[in-house]
Structure 1
Amino acid sequence: MKIVTVIGARPQFIKAATVSRKIREKCIEIIVHTGQHYDDNMSKIFFQELNIPLPDYNLNIGSGSHGTQTGRMLEKIENILLNEKPDYVLVYGDTNSTLAGALAASKLLIPVVHIESGLRSFNKSMPEEQNRILTDHISKYVFAPTDTAVKNLFNEGIKENVFNVGDVMFDAVLYFKDLAKDKSRVLQKYFLKRENYILATIHRAENTNSVEKLKNIFKGLNESGQNIILPLHPRTKKYIKKYNIILEDNIKIIEPLGYLDMIMLEDNSKKIVTDSGGVQKEAFFLGKPCITLRSETEWVETVENGWNIIVGADKDKIKKCILDFEPKQVRKEYFGDGNAVQKIISELF
């Protein structure tokens, strides 16, 4: 058996770090890296520190409009599939790489395996929402991380080959957390102590592409007066400069981080402020209060359980939650038992 795995963005590298290791015990795997994330700090470092097998193909697509990026990926992935003739194409999550890999396979009648299926924010203006819906509906096997995700699939008529296996990113956190403690020196590098800082990440286009939203987010961070550590995404860096956004001294900008350093910063933070879906989950896994800079989230369980609060780009809510938000409930086990990867492998083989 041969599987082609298509990846292209940071969260997919993390998932592949846990899944590819097990797949290769069972069959041939060909990894296609689209190059959607191409900066070394957003791509190369993950392959190195997580021991992900080097890609067999690197498409070097880079940035561009959604149509341009997805179209170029689709063309190149199709050629690879015609050459490799895999039994399955495996995709993760909800990026343009996900959709391009799934579409290319579906057009060639190659079964698609979608890991992290069934997530819905119910906001179709989000490119990620469009990608995940389309991918779910053309996939042969859909592996959902939660009961809610399974219900979403059933509500859309997707009822065959649906498996609630838990979240592979939970597997990754459990697997790499101890390694991060041994290998990471990020706390020492930036003179940080446990729970004496707020960790922030900002990268979504809905925030960075809006001058009003991005300015309001940074006003909230500035006015909180708290010690904030911000690993700066290249897109956000560009727009901070473009919009002439002022950062007060309480915000410390650092370079984008690899996974092990990021896990260490998350695990030792007091709270996390983010617009990232993956970071919302990691905050929950690690027991950190999360303040989400979006108007909704696909990870509804974290909000329902009281460990995640949605604030959008409201500067007053951001400030207030940084200062006052504290979860009042015990975290529930929504995301499986840490054996999602093994369950996936058992179904596929």
Structure 2
Amino acid sequence: MKKVFLVAGARPNLMKVAPIFRASRGLDSVQCEMVYTGQHYDRQMSQVFFEDLDIAEPRFNMGKSTGTHAEQTGAIMVAFEKMCMDEKPDLVVVVGDVNSTLACSVTARKLHIPVAHVEAGLRSGDMDMPEEINRMVTDSISNLFFTTENHGRENLLREGKRADDIFHVGNVMIDNLFYNVGRLGPEVVADYECRKLKERIGRYGFMTLHRPSNVDYKDVLEGIVAALNKISEDLPLLFPIHPRTEKMMKEFGISFSENVHTFPPLSFRESLYLWKDAQVVVTDSGGLQEETTALGVPCVTVRENTERPVTIEQGTNALAGVSGDKILCEVEKALKKTGNPAPKIEGWDGHAAERIWDVLIKYLS
């Protein structure tokens, strides 16, 4: 039996590895072990997700959450090297673009262990983003590339990757999304603290904001918050506030209006319960751009670029940058699209994980 390590580092990774791990349960020829590096150490941002996503707590949990990018990456590499030498996996699967993705892919390849990258080939073109560096380095050394959209394949071919090593399997984030939409029954949402607020305000927008480039600079954050406060005058906003954003707002003395309802980070399903019925989603997340597209919820991204251009092409997502005036303008345009049907994108059908395992099993045999 072949042993596969499935690496997750941060909260978005958990949503990507969950369907891959679930799909491995019925496989006789593979032993799939999840490795959690623990980049998000807060229980609200990690442990609750194991329960919420219907996956067992990982057998391997490093807890490497602190320090600079270099300190965190180095600590993960040291721990993962020992783990690989002890356990001797036949293949390492990494997802996304966090520090764990980079650290574990480099470590595995130096130990002559093949690496498969899920969400390969995504590019923002912005080298100031740590995630862009992680994506590019990981793709430069991986053996197998699993893409979510055609742009990923085009980027990889342009960078010299072999066409036979690139597989358009679809989007595991959408696998996870569809799986959990079906689990939002009345008995589940009855216990959600946000349920009464959602029912009381009726029409609302949903937002997330966490990127250092948006929240670590006072003038940038002030402009974004001013725009959001203006939007909330006509459309209440629900905001599960990221710890980093909350910290910086307190430090800068910036506050939201009473029409922006903030609460601690939510589990994946509780967050989905809110944003799936929003009039518009305002975010600087990567994954939420894709998830809103899959459900047809208008999205405005508070960034200058995106590594997920298919969401722009489908018209469900718009780039607003960080200018308050542009954010207001794009939200106004997005609200006119509320209620439009979700677009159909190849491979975004809830079965990407199964297609990934089809390729991996052939590769391992």
Band of TM-score, shorter chain: over 0.9
Amino acid at match of 2:357: I
Q: Paired residue for 2:352?
A: 340
Amino acid at match of 1:53: A
Offset at residue 193 of structure 1 (A) = 5.9
Amino acid at match of 1:81: C
Offset at residue 331 of structure 1 (A) = 4.6
Offset at residue 292 of structure 1 (A) = 0.2
Amino acid at match of 2:154: K
Contact 2:293 2:343 in 1 (8 A): no
Work out whether 1:76 is the aligned partner of 2:76.
no
Q: Paired residue for 1:201?
A: 208
Quick one: which of 172, 177, 191 aligns to 1:173?
177
Q: Paired residue for 1:163?
A: 167
1:311 and 1:63 mapped to 2: Cα distance? 32
| Superposition CA RMSD, Å | 1.6
Q: Residues 7-51 of structure 1: CA distance to partner in whole angstroms, max 9, x if unpaired? A: 111111111211101223222122211110111111011101212
Amino acid at match of 1:134: V
Q: Report % sequence identity.
A: 37
Work out whether 1:221 is the aligned partner of 2:228.
yes
Work out whether 1:13 is the aligned partner of 2:24.
no
1:145–1:194: structure 2 CA closer, same or farther, 3 Å change rule? Answer: farther
1:300 and 1:125 mapped to 2: Cα distance? 18
Q: Residues 249-301 of structure 1: CA distance to partner in whole angstroms, max 9, x if unpaired? A: 11110111111111111111110000000111111111111000000001111
Quick one: which of 250, 257, 265 aligns to 2:259?
250
Contact 1:306 1:327 in 2 (8 A): no
Contact 1:140 1:161 in 2 (8 A): yes
Amino acid at match of 1:184: V
Q: Paired residue for 1:241?
A: 250
Q: Paired residue for 2:107?
A: 104
Contact 1:195 1:268 in 2 (8 A): no
Amino acid at match of 2:97: D
Contact 1:294 1:311 in 2 (8 A): yes
1:181 and 1:317 mapped to 2: Cα distance? 38
Q: Paired residue for 1:133?
A: 136
2:333 and 2:286 mapped to 1: Cα distance? 22
Offset at residue 207 of structure 1 (A) = 0.8
Offset at residue 59 of structure 1 (A) = 1.1
Q: Residues 83-131 of structure 1: CA distance to partner in whole angstroms, max 9, x if unpaired? A: 0000001110000011111011011010001111110001111100000
Query: Tell me, what secondary structure is at the counterpart of 1:114?
Result: strand
Amino acid at match of 1:11: P
2:200 and 2:153 mapped to 1: Cα distance? 40
1:149 and 1:87 mapped to 2: Cα distance? 26
2:5 and 2:201 mapped to 1: Cα distance? 41
Stretches of structure 2 that go unaligned for 5 or more consecutive residues are: none
Aligned residues: 349
Stretches of structure 1 that go unaligned for 5 or more consecutive residues are: none
Query: Tell me, what secondary structure is at the counterpart of 1:203?
Result: coil
Q: Residues 160-197 of structure 1: CA distance to partner in whole angstroms, max 9, x if unpaired? A: 41100000111111111020234224452424368611
Contact 1:141 1:162 in 2 (8 A): yes
Contact 2:296 2:343 in 1 (8 A): no
The equivalences for 1:287-326 within 5 A come to 287-325=296-334, 326=336
Query: Tell me, what secondary structure is at the counterpart of 2:213?
Result: helix
Query: Tell me, what secondary structure is at the counterpart of 1:179?
Result: coil
Amino acid at match of 2:171: D
Q: Paired residue for 2:70?
A: 67
1:301 and 1:184 mapped to 2: Cα distance? 31
2:288 and 2:206 mapped to 1: Cα distance? 10
2:195 and 2:80 mapped to 1: Cα distance? 42
Query: Tell me, what secondary structure is at the counterpart of 1:5?
Result: strand
Query: Tell me, what secondary structure is at the counterpart of 1:263?
Result: helix
